[in-house]
């Protein structure tokens, strides 16, 4: 059964490499942001798979924190690209 999860981890790693290629040479900024988000999501799943293979349940907590940071980072970058700044001063 471990071999199935190991094969899934290897395939997931290959898809991460393909997303990193899209991140590096993407046709536009928005495609690069989508690729960065995909890399973060796939890395979260890969962390959970590694935790299952190594029988370490605390990897799930680490993966959830990484997913939250990935989501917040993508929102901040998208907001910056949309408005040109991160916040509007009230003064």
E strands, 1-91, are none
> What percent of the chain has a predicted confidence (pLDDT) above 90?
48
pTM over 0.85: no
Assess if residue 66 is contained within a domain. Answer: yes
Write out the residue range of the structural domain in which residue 37 sits: 2-83
26 Cβ contact partners less than 8 Å away, ≥ 6 residues apart = 32, 35
Assess if residue 20 is contained within a domain. Answer: yes
pLDDT band at 70 (very low <50, low <70, confident <90, very high): very high
Q: What is the mean pLDDT of residues 17-26?
A: 91
Assess if residue 72 is contained within a domain. Answer: yes
Q: Is 9 helix (H, G, I), strand (E, B) or coil?
A: helix
pLDDT tens string 40-51: 999 999 999 999
Burial of residue 41, with CB atoms counted within 10 A of its CB: 0-12 exposed, 13-18 middle, 19 or more buried = middle
Angle at CA 38, nearest 5°, toward 37 and 39? 90
**Count of domains observed in the chain:** 1
């Amino acid at each position: 059964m471990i071999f199935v999860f190991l094969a899934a981890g290897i395939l997931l790693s290959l898809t991460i490499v393909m997303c990193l290629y899209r991140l590096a040479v993407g046709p536009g900024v928005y495609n690069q942001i989508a690729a960065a988000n995909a890399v973060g999501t796939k890395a979260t799943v890969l962390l959970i798979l590694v935790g299952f293979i190594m029988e370490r349940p605390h990897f799930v907590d680490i993966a959830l924190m990484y997913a939250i940071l990935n989501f917040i980072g993508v929102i901040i970058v998208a907001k910056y690209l949309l408005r040109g700044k991160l916040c509007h001063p009230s003064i």
